[in-house]
Structure formats: structure tokens, C-alpha cells
């Protein structure tokens, strides 16, 4: 198992380094942070702009190879460089990463867990009302892009707020300023955060739910016909135990591959969700940084995204190993 994981890790690491480098080179070659200065009034002198850009390693007149060298040297010290305004990228990155993770982890865990359960249940109740309901729901949600889903939820939420006369749902930002100064103190602040978290989490969870319930249903349908489930029943296990311990576990194995695949989709969906709900997370930063030509910020987000895909890939390998004993003993691999 260890050797198998190490080999995978080495393979992934090379890919991530290459992908991060390519993305930096692309961003550095194509984006123009200089334009930010040229739009200013009064327009700063050329020499000043040059000096400023060089200081932040953003000068497009420095050869690309030299800039890349500086960037890699900084990265080796764990420094992602500076934004075009001179703030360190690291601090901003960690702050925004926290915001994004709060949103994504909750939504993803909730959505995938519910999706797997609903998919498995639908497969067991194949052809009945529950199955039709889950299938219909997942079809519908899969056809709704995240940026439409988010707006639809906002419309529903604003109608609900109007109907009840309360601010049950919030859909702008992470908190309301001054929420914890109310009569309930810190508790009110927590409640406010939860209310802000509801809709964006629901957006991400719904999208994940649709994907996972679809996959899980078809995997489970295959497994239900399998001989070993019948054997488990024949040796005296109750139907539920046979389905959970033998059926669901086996049906989860192919799902681990999807886990790595959907993590990429999750990052993308998170980007739209952040943008639409006014969360200042990593995804929003990437979109804004591309429009501002902020090369170092773009490269940093990209490094994190590549690392996240790597982690998801590793996690899916580990899960594969845990669920499928043949991988551990090296019979497959």
C-alpha cells in the first residue's frame, strides 16, 4: 500500500509542478498589470511604473524566464510574491482559503453523503416512488448550472423573507456588520453567520447531491444483481445488513474515482457560488485577479487548486485502498 501510494504521489507531484509552472508562464505572458497604472490620473511617469512593477516581479519588460526564476525562488521559500498593489499574496491567500473552505467542505460533505445515501436508497427501491423522485430531482438539478441555481435560491429566499416578514435568509457576504453587537451578543453573531451560510451551502450541496445520487444509483443497481449479495442473504444476513455491508461498500469503490473528478467541478462551482453570494473566497479572487492582471495572485490560486486536485486524487487512492482489500495486498495496482 505504501509503495503504491508513494508511486502515485510522485506521479501527481510532477504533474502539479508542471501545471503550476505552465499556469504561471501563461498568466505572466498574457496578463498586463501595467494597464492598472496607465489608467491612473495623473498618469505616473514610465520610470516609476517600471520600478514599481519590477519590485513586485510583475514587469512585462523583464524577460519571462527571469520572472519565472524569481517566482520559483520565492515559492521555494514559501512566498507567493506580491499583488500589483504590493500586498503580500500569502496573507490574502490564507485568509480567503479559510473563507472558501468553510463554504466548500460543508457543502461537499453534506451533498455527497446525502447523494450517496439517496442514490443507494433509490436503487434498492427501484421503480417505486422514492426512486422516481430521486432520479427526477437529480436530472433536474444536473441540468441547472450553478449560476442559475444560486439566483433561483436567492429569488425563493427573498420571497420567503417577504412572506414571513423576517430575515430568515441572507445572501450577501459572510456576515452582517455589527451582528454580534445585538442583544444576544456573540450568539447573535453566530446565528447571523449560519443564516449567511445556508444558501451558498445549499447551492453547492444540491449540485453535489445530483452528481453523487446519479452515480451511486447506477453503481448500486449493478451490485444488487451480484452473486455475493445473494450469498450474504443466503448465509442468513438480514436484507438491510446484506445491502449495507456488502452492497453499499462494493458500490462505493468505483465512486472513489468520481470523488477526485468531482473535486475539480466543486472548485469551479465554488467560484460561481462565491461570486454570486458575495463571499470573498479564493474563487472570487481568481476571477477578479484575472481581470486586474494580477499575475502572482492568479499563480498562487492556481497552485492551490492544483494541490487540491492532487490531494483529492490521493484521498481517492487511499479510499480505494481502504474499501478494496485487493489494492492493499498488491493483487491489483
Selected from 6, 109, 155, 187, the binder of another protein by CB under 8 A is: 155
Mask for 103-132, x = binds another protein (CB under 8 A): ------------------------------
Partner residues linked to 318 by β-bridges = none
248 touches 65 (CB < 8 A): no
The residue among 125 and 328 lying less far from another protein, judged by its C-beta, is: 125
Minimum CB–partner distance for residue 237 and another protein (Å): 25
Which among 73-81, 150-158, 232-240, 242-250 is the span making contact with another protein, rule CB under 8 A?
A: 150-158
DSSP 209-270: HHHHHHHHHHHHHHHHTSHHHHHHHHTT--HHHIIIIIIIHHHHHHHHHHHHHHHHHHHHHH
CA distances to 36, 44, 83 from 41, rounded to whole Å, are 11, 8, 21
212 touches 116 (CB < 8 A): yes
- Report how many residues bind another protein under the rule CB under 8 A: 46
Selected from 88, 145, 325, 330, the binder of another protein by CB under 8 A is: 145
Q: Report the number of secondary-structure helices (H) and strands (E) in the chain.
A: 14, 0
Tell me which residue of 204, 316, 200 sits closest to 256, measured CA to CA.
316
Interacting residues with another protein between 207 and 236 (CB under 8 A): 217-219, 221-222
CA distances to 194, 200, 234, 265, 271 from 274, rounded to whole Å, are 16, 8, 51, 14, 5
Partner residues linked to 81 by β-bridges = none
Work out whether 35 is an interface residue with another protein (CB under 8 A): no
Work out whether 257 is an interface residue with another protein (CB under 8 A): no
Selected from 1, 23, 137, 190, the binder of another protein by CB under 8 A is: 23
The residue among 130 and 142 lying less far from another protein, judged by its C-beta, is: 142
Minimum CB–partner distance for residue 157 and another protein (Å): 9
Q: Residue numbers of the site for another protein (CB under 8 A)?
A: 15-16, 18-19, 22-23, 26-27, 30-31, 135, 139-140, 142-145, 147-148, 151-152, 154-155, 158-159, 217-219, 221-222, 261, 264, 267-268, 271-272, 276, 286-287, 290, 298, 302, 305-306, 309-310
Amino acid at each position: 500500500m505504501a509503495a503504491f501510494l508513494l508511486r502515485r504521489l510522485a506521479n501527481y507531484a510532477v504533474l502539479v509542478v508542471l501545471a503550476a509552472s505552465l499556469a504561471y508562464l501563461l498568466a505572466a505572458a498574457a496578463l498586463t498589470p501595467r494597464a492598472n497604472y496607465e489608467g491612473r490620473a495623473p498618469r505616473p511617469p514610465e520610470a516609476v511604473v517600471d520600478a514599481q512593477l519590477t519590485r513586485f516581479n510583475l514587469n512585462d519588460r523583464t524577460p519571462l524566464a527571469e520572472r519565472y526564476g524569481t517566482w520559483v525562488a520565492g515559492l521555494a521559500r514559501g512566498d507567493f510574491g506580491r499583488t500589483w498593489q504590493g500586498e503580500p499574496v500569502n496573507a490574502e491567500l490564507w485568509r480567503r482559503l479559510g473563507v472558501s473552505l468553510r463554504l466548500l467542505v460543508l457543502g461537499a460533505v453534506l451533498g455527497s453523503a446525502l447523494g450517496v445515501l439517496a442514490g443507494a436508497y433509490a436503487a434498492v427501491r427501484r421503480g417505486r416512488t422514492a426512486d422516481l423522485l430521486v432520479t427526477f430531482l437529480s436530472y433536474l438539478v444536473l441540468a441547472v448550472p450553478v449560476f442559475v441555481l444560486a439566483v433561483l435560491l436567492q429569488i425563493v429566499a427573498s420571497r420567503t423573507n417577504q412572506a414571513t416578514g423576517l430575515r430568515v435568509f441572507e445572501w450577501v457576504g459572510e456576515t452582517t456588520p455589527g451582528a454580534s453587537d445585538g442583544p444576544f451578543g456573540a450568539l447573535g453573531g453566530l446565528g447571523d453567520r449560519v443564516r449567511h451560510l445556508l444558501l451558498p451551502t445549499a447551492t453547492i450541496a444540491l449540485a453535489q447531491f445530483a452528481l453523487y445520487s446519479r452515480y451511486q444509483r447506477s453503481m448500486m443497481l449493478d451490485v444488487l444483481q451480484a452473486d455475493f449479495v445473494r450469498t450474504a442473504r443466503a448465509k442468513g444476513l438480514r436484507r438491510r445488513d446484506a445491502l449495507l455491508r456488502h452492497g453499499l461498500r462494493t458500490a462505493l469503490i468505483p465512486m472513489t474515482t468520481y470523488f477526485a473528478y468531482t473535486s475539480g467541478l466543486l472548485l469551479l462551482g465554488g467560484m460561481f457560488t462565491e461570486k454570486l453570494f458575495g463571499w470573498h473566497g479564493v474563487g472570487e479572487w481568481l476571477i477578479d485577479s484575472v481581470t486586474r492582471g494580477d499575475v502572482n495572485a492568479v499563480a498562487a490560486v492556481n497552485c492551490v487548486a492544483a494541490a487540491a486536485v492532487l490531494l483529492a486524487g490521493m484521498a481517492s487512492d487511499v479510499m480505494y485502498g481502504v474499501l478494496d482489500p485487493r489494492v492493499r495486498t498488491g493483487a491489483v495496482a
